Structure 1
Amino acid sequence: MGKLALVAKITHVPSMYLSELDGPRKGTRQDAIDGHVEIGRRCRELGVDTIVVFDTHWLVNANYHINCAPEFAGRYTSNELPHFISNMGYGFPGNPALGQLLARACNAMGVETLAHDATTLAPEYGTLVPMRYMNAGRDFKVVSVSALCMAHYLNDSARLGWAMRKAVEDHYDGTVAFFASGSLSHRFAQNGLAPEYGFRIWSPFLEHLDREVLRMWGEGQWKDFCEMLPEYAVKGHGEGFMHDTAMMLGALGWSAYDGRAEIVTPYFGASGTGQVNAVFPVTPQDGAAIPAAQASGATGYTAVSQRL
């Protein structure tokens, strides 16, 4: 019935917004902005009606959550970096019907998920920054999914991604894109050193690790990457413990995925963190490689480090 037309791993660095404003940072993130504009163009070309964002700035402590209000509008200031994003206006339509459909599919697969349509909950900037550049014309409805998961298993996040794909393909009358909104390594520069690391990675180890991951993605080494993801999430300081990446790969077919990443915005450093815009072709999958539910026991940070 429906179609998952495009999947991407995207940056949401707040310096993109700062790059619009007069001052020393003006124009310095144009490459990342251009990457978002290009991904938005591809979505329009493919007939996408709704973008689902796995947002690593939406912190949750229990269940998975979907923000699918009918409309999103307001002004946003980041509580994390208010000197980067202050009073940024936003506005775009939501998709309550799709959000509820996605939640039902996840629950049917044993991944406890709640959809919120009658809510005053505003999106986080992992959704707002990309939509500023991809969706300036309000061409797409938007659904935001919590992906800063504090007490969750990566297995469940992979299963959530697969459940959402099947919900779209089997029950939705439309075309959807999934975006994993988060960095690669996410070790911020130590306080007092942020200006020095504005365009750098925190350490050579993290930069080499990220570049090796991008090489694996470009060569389609998905079995190896899925096996290393829990350790990469911990030792690489993965943003949101890389639950967005697990969701994305679950939707693509996990270790059985046979596509190769296309880099739209080359890897770059931002305040110590490693960033990229990359598109992943959606290929036919049967879900056989999706991991089983994780046995209970570990929680929080240790839950991330469990082998899938």
Structure 2
Amino acid sequence: MGQIVGAAMVSHHPGLMQCEEFRRLQGAGEDSDLIAGYARLRAKIAEAKPDVVVLFDTHWFTTGYHLVDAGRQYSGMYTSDEMPWYLHGVPYDYHGHPQLARSIEAVSRERGGYNRAISHPDLGRQYPTINLVKHLGFEDPAMPVVTVSSCQNCEWPHFLKSGEAIGEAIARSDLRVLLIASGALSHKFNGIDWKPNHPRIFHESNVSRPENIASDKGAIELLRQGRHDQILERWDAEYRRLPWEAFGAHYLQMLGAMGGAACRTKGETLSAYENARGTGNIHMWFST
């Protein structure tokens, strides 16, 4: 019987792919703690000993289905169409796990859900996957990655249901699986002519709005306590309104796989809470 051996919400923002010198220049001499946080995450992952990673990608927007990438192997050179002036020429080479992807679709069909496996050699990559493949060391062929999309015409219960099918497919397998929710909390960008509130660009006070900072910190505390039920109770009134990146698809799918509102797995912060162009970012680990 398969099992989820760990889960994490992880920041992927493009600035983390810049050279250390430039990051320190932006950080007023102090680097982003999210970089140090990747090393802490790698240590947790090594302890968990997963066979495969299921990664929820907040930039792979799809319509009509939650898509599950069933490719066997991915290699190429990545250039972001969003920020090509500094996220370009990134080589990648990693493996997928077609069997798990197809099992997720089979379970979803049984349950009347909308997860569908797809394998196409020309399907593009997104940096929430590529950046974490690079930073977390998933290019080792022994660590396949199955990327899951964010279906944009869904309401939040649909994401929980997507995750439930993923959790059941994992349980029916013989795999040790790590879940990665790749994305931010509040995701309101600062305007192009915005002036920093703090000289350290990564500083939390540079997050776009004070109410977003307060909400993000409240959510982080609930995650620390394992009170996922309270986060769901506040979803429509707070976290959907602010909103979280991809309307929280990455967290909701991860949570659905871990038991939904009944989940009481406590989160451990592995980085400081930081700004990235106005968005709220943090790494959090959940030992399952």
Calculate the TM-score normalised by the size of structure 1. 0.84
- Post-superposition shift, 1:66? 1.0
Question: Of 99, 104, 126, which aligns to 1:124?
Answer: 126
Distance in 2, matches of 1:33 and 1:42, equals 15
Tell me the amino acid that sits aligned with residue 64 of structure 1: H
Q: 8 Å contact 2:78–2:125 — kept in the other structure?
A: no
Tell me the amino acid that sits aligned with residue 135 of structure 1: G
Mean alpha-carbon deviation: is it higher for 195-204 or for 250-259?
Answer: 195-204
The yes-or-no answer on 1:241 pairing with 2:247 is yes
- 1:28–1:158 distance in 2 versus 1, CA, 3 Å: farther
Q: Secondary structure of the residue that 2:179 maps to in structure 1?
A: strand
Distance in 1, matches of 2:18 and 2:75, equals 20
- Post-superposition shift, 1:182? 1.0
Unaligned 5+ segments in structure 1 are: 283-308
| Matching of residues 152-301 of structure 1 within 5 Å | 152-170=154-172, 172-193=173-194, 198-199=201-202, 200-282=206-288
Match of 2:50 in 1: 48
Distance in 2, matches of 1:234 and 1:137, equals 34
- Post-superposition shift, 1:243? 1.1
Q: 8 Å contact 2:133–2:139 — kept in the other structure?
A: no
Q: 8 Å contact 1:15–1:29 — kept in the other structure?
A: no
Distance in 2, matches of 1:87 and 1:18, equals 12
- Post-superposition shift, 1:2? 1.2
Mean alpha-carbon deviation: is it higher for 53-62 or for 106-115?
Answer: 106-115
CA RMSD of aligned residues (A): 2.1
Superposed CA deviations along residues 93-118 of structure 1, whole A, max 9, x for unmatched, are 11111111112112222212221124
Aligned length: 280
The yes-or-no answer on 1:14 pairing with 2:14 is yes
Match of 1:95 in 2: 97
Distance in 2, matches of 1:38 and 1:278, equals 10
Q: 8 Å contact 1:16–1:29 — kept in the other structure?
A: no
Tell me the amino acid that sits aligned with residue 283 of structure 2: N
Match of 2:39 in 1: 37
Q: 8 Å contact 1:109–1:159 — kept in the other structure?
A: no
Distance in 2, matches of 1:161 and 1:194, equals 39
Match of 2:80 in 1: 78
Distance in 1, matches of 2:139 and 2:58, equals 24
- Post-superposition shift, 1:44? 2.8
Distance in 1, matches of 2:211 and 2:32, equals 27
Superposed CA deviations along residues 182-203 of structure 1, whole A, max 9, x for unmatched, are 1000001112227778422011
Superposed CA deviations along residues 250-285 of structure 1, whole A, max 9, x for unmatched, are 112121112211101121111100001001122xxx
Tell me the amino acid that sits aligned with residue 109 of structure 2: N
Percentage identity across aligned positions?
Answer: 25
Distance in 2, matches of 1:144 and 1:213, equals 25
- 1:95–1:257 distance in 2 versus 1, CA, 3 Å: same
Distance in 1, matches of 2:31 and 2:194, equals 19
The yes-or-no answer on 1:140 pairing with 2:129 is no
Tell me the amino acid that sits aligned with residue 211 of structure 1: K
- 1:208–1:136 distance in 2 versus 1, CA, 3 Å: same
Calculate the TM-score normalised by the size of structure 2. 0.90
Tell me the amino acid that sits aligned with residue 273 of structure 2: Y
Q: 8 Å contact 1:19–1:28 — kept in the other structure?
A: no
Distance in 1, matches of 2:114 and 2:222, equals 31
Q: 8 Å contact 2:93–2:139 — kept in the other structure?
A: no
Unaligned 5+ segments in structure 2 are: none
